[in-house]
């Protein structure tokens, strides 16, 4: 059975990991392994450890704040997640929701859940249905929001 690593933070304000695991369970039969770290900059090494220990793919969840320093932390975490992928040759699907992406807590939680679920579907496709992704190539998919759609010529 394929193994999917799930790593998230105590810093985030919504339990996106739960949403994604729920979605994955509905989509397919995989072994789920979960770890939680304090903040987004702790995600890259935990993702690498899970991939080194046999996970086929990892989902990394984070919810950076809205201040400039938070964007910088997210940037550092993203680079770390890309290195983890380069060193292991496996995908890490980054699921970050920025606090300033919505104007109310309710809206932000809904966005976080929707993005977590849509990215769980991406993980399912990467593992089992890569041809579905190619069918969607260039169609302006947006995880958690309305799709942008293909450009009209």
Contact between 146 and a copy of itself (CB under 8 A)?
A: no
- What are the backbone angles phi and psi of residue 107, rounded to the nearest 5°? -65, -40
Of the pair 19, 30, the CB lying nearest a copy of itself is at: 19
CB 6 within 8 Å of CB 30: no
Site for a copy of itself in 115-134 (CB under 8 A): 119, 122, 126, 130, 133-134
Site for a copy of itself in 43-102 (CB under 8 A): 44-46, 48-49, 52, 63, 69, 71-73, 75-87, 89-94, 98
Name beta bridge partners: 32: 4
Place of tokens 């991939």: 51
Contact between 36 and a copy of itself (CB under 8 A)?
A: yes
Torsion of the alpha carbons at 113, 119, 124 and 129, rounded to the nearest 10? 140
Q: How far is the CB of 131 from a copy of itself (least distance, A)?
A: 9
């Amino acid at each position: 059975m394929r193994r999917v690593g799930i790593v998230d933070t105590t810093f985030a304000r919504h339990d996106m990991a739960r949403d994604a695991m729920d979605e994955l369970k509905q989509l397919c039969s995989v072994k789920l392994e979960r770890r939680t770290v304090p903040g987004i900059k702790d995600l890259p090494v935990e993702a690498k450890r899970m991939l080194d220990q046999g996970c086929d793919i990892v989902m990394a969840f984070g919810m950076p704040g809205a201040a400039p320093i938070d964007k910088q932390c997210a940037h550092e975490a993203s680079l770390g997640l890309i290195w983890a992928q380069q060193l292991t040759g496996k995908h890490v699907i980054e699921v970050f929701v920025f606090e300033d992406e919505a104007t109310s807590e309710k809206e932000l939680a809904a966005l976080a859940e929707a993005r977590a679920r849509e990215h769980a579907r991406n993980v399912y496709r990467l593992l089992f249905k890569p041809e579905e992704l190619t069918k969607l190539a260039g169609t302006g998919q947006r995880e958690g929001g309305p799709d942008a759609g293909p450009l009209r010529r």
